[in-house]
A and B are shown apart, each in its own frame.
Chain A
Amino acid sequence: MSKPILELIDINKKFSVYGSFKILGPKSYVNAASNISLKLYEGETYGLVGESGSGKTTTGRIILGLTKADSGQVVYKGKNLLDLSRSEFRHYRKDIQLVFQDPFSSLNPRKRIGDILEEPLIIHDMGNKKQRQDQVFKMLETVGLQAEHYFRFPHEFSGGQRQRLGLARALIIKPKIVVCDEPVSALDVSIQAQILNLLKDLQKDLKLTLLFITHDISVVRHVSNRIGIMYLGKILEEADTDDLFNNQLHPYTRALFSAVPDFTKSYKKRDTKISGEIPKLSEDFKGCVFYARCPFAKDKCKNEAPLTEEKQEKHSVSCHYVEKFKER
């Protein structure tokens, strides 16, 4: 496989939780990301899946420089983006863009569509007024909107159209990598399909690399080549999409997948059920993060954190008892 275009190495992020008196220092910490390492290869779609609060959005924001990581590296073009100052970072902004989850708050309500789409071109000083305008019209067409939408305001559009506009804004400066933070979870199902197909077509045409953050497993199966499963700020399992859907090695992944309602297949006996709530994020884990809810947990899981190992080809997992679990 080719070289990775973007690499995350050992990213850690803790959020401080303050009590009533801020001066006394933080009361506790929330682990949003602990030792996250992942590689994005050129042209692929990497799906980052997890429950709410598993740190998948934080990971995306760290790549974009919207949240500062405590430690670790984001390597792009041989440079660690986290070391760059804000003005140096600006040059790389062009290559890494974001599509937002909520299409309603992500467009400035006071600006016309044309101005919204033109703004990134102005910021990065691309072309004169007329060239920019032409590009905006071309982009509107690319995402399936009409030229007459140029002068309208965001509130005159539907959710699906707004998400197209969000896509257009991210793509107009021709980025290499696009982080999609749950781009379809605010839309209804028929629109979801439209946006996902549009995204796939655009990826092919513009040779984009996508980091697709979602909690929707059927969506991630549709769009991504590789999937990482996140739980409490850790990537528990990572594999190619087909591989992962046929052969889940981590008990959490299996539980997650069996929780997806499936009307085409009969009820599977091997269903893994987990009970209980996601533990308090502020807890410090000595052992495996999934220990409290894992149906197969042993003493070793409580006291010793499992390492992430490549148990099968291109399939890494972080669990002590992968071999035993497979037999079950």
Chain B
Amino acid sequence: MTETQKVQDIESIRVKYLKEQRSLQLRNLKSNRGLIIGSSIILALIIIAIFAPIITEFDAYQMKASQRLLPPDNVHLFGTDEFGRDLLTRVVYGARVSMSVGFIVCFLSSLFGLIIGVYASFYKVLDNVFMRICDGLIAIPGILLAIALMSALGASIWNVIIALTIVYTPSIARIVRSGALVVKEQAFIEAEYVQGAGDFRIIWLNIVPNILSPLLVQATYVFSSAILSEAALSFLGAGIPEPDPSWGNILQASKLVINKAWWMTVYPGVLLILSVLGLNLMGDGLRDFLDPRTKNYGKRK
């Protein structure tokens, strides 16, 4: 066999194998109902958030005193709020704030949690330092800690993100650390030592890929709790400041008029529930999907 032929040979094997894998994955995906439903809900919410200006022609900030608290009709599909702003517009723009706060918090706390957790598991001295700090942070109830941080930092979107990241990083760091401790003791990590691999290679190319799936699952849960916490903070007046819309502060405003205008409570509430439900379904589905060892070849569990 000549060299070029051999190369082609290898290439064709690779293509064939990848095709096989892809069809298997597709079959797994199709049987995973939670993942499909959850991710389509989240996808829909993301699309709504991105295309908010196209969906409604109203301004989210402009107040019209004459149109206060109108019930849902053809013009205002979700009705209007106590300042006469279109509620659909407020909710849709609120999705932008809530989803992006949730996503950024989820991303940042996963990143920091991963780094802290994996290095804590690897170096004993760092373990004691990092984990005691995390213990301290976990000991304070999350929402209280967030409120305290918000009152220290002042109300703004970025401060909400910073506060929630500080609240959620320890829980991710713990999950990553416990996963990494298990992986670290496996024989294949020992094999890396025997081969003479450096710490960086062992940590990032061998330990991290093995804890990505619990991390990803935990990250979706953090995503949903971050959305909830942001709403809770805004509801308590410590989150996104008015007049920026977020599901939390729309709910806060609706509290005063709950007897007169049910729509102000129901619509942002439903979206909040939908997003959390979608993310949790997605998290469960991902866990089943990601582990190559639990492939069940098209059968439902």
Contact = CB atoms under 8 A, between A and B. Distances in A.
Interface stretch (B6-14, B61-69, B159-167): B6-14
B123 to A, nearest CB: 14
Interface string B151-192: 000000000000000000000000000000000001110111
A152 B21 CA distance: 10
Nearest to A172: B195
Nearest to A133: B10
A218 interface: no
- B: contact size bracket: 20 to 34
Given A98-B191, A102-B187, A105-B188, A155 B293 contact: yes
A268 interface: no
Interface of A: 64-66, 89-90, 93-94, 97-98, 100, 102, 105-111, 119-120, 123-124, 133, 137, 147-148, 150-153, 155, 169, 173
Contacts of A123: 195-197, 201
B194 A137 contact: no
Contacts of B293: 109, 155
A102 B187 CA distance: 8
A147 B6 CA distance: 11
Q: Which 3 A-B pairs have the closest CB atoms?
A: A93-B196, A106-B187, A90-B196
Contacts, number: 71
A123 B14 CA distance: 24
B265 interface: no
Given A147-B10, A150-B10, A155-B292, A108 B210 contact: yes
Contact of B186 (A66, A94, A105, A155): A105
B9 A147 contact: yes
A98 B188 CA distance: 11
B41 to A, nearest CB: 29
A105 B182 CA distance: 12
A89 B187 CA distance: 20
Interface in B56-109: none
Among A97, A108, A123, max chain B CB count under 10 A is at A108
A109 B191 contact: no
Given A108-B188, A133-B10, A152 B194 contact: no
Contacts of B195: 93, 97, 119-120, 123-124, 169, 173
A251 B183 CA distance: 43
Contact of A100 (B13, B14, B191): B191
B126 interface: no
B26 interface: no
B187 A100 contact: yes
A150 to B, nearest CB: 7
Interface in B14-41: 14, 17-18
A90 B197 CA distance: 8
Nearest to A155: B293
Contacts of A93: 194-196
A110 B187 contact: no
Contacts of A137: 10
A147 B13 contact: yes
A28 B2 CA distance: 65
Given A89-B196, A109-B292, A123-B195, 17 more contacts: A90-B196, A93-B196, A98-B194, A105-B187, A106-B188, A107-B188, A108-B206, A109-B293, A110-B292, A120-B196, A123-B197, A124-B195, A148-B17, A150-B13, A169-B191, A169-B195, A173-B195
Nearest to A110: B209
A94 B13 contact: no
Contacts of B262: none
A66 B190 CA distance: 8
Contacts of B201: 123
B18 A151 contact: yes
24 contacts: A65-B193, A93-B194, A98-B190, A100-B187, A100-B191, A106-B191, A108-B206, A108-B209, A108-B210, A109-B210, A109-B292, A109-B293, A111-B209, A119-B192, A119-B197, A120-B195, A120-B196, A123-B195, A124-B195, A147-B10, A147-B13, A151-B13, A152-B17, A153-B292
B194 A64 contact: yes
B9 to A, nearest CB: 7
Nearest to A100: B187
B195 to A, nearest CB: 4
A93 B17 CA distance: 34
A109 B206 CA distance: 10
Contacts of B18: 151
A94 B210 CA distance: 26
Contacts of B186: 105
B200 to A, nearest CB: 11
Nearest to A108: B188
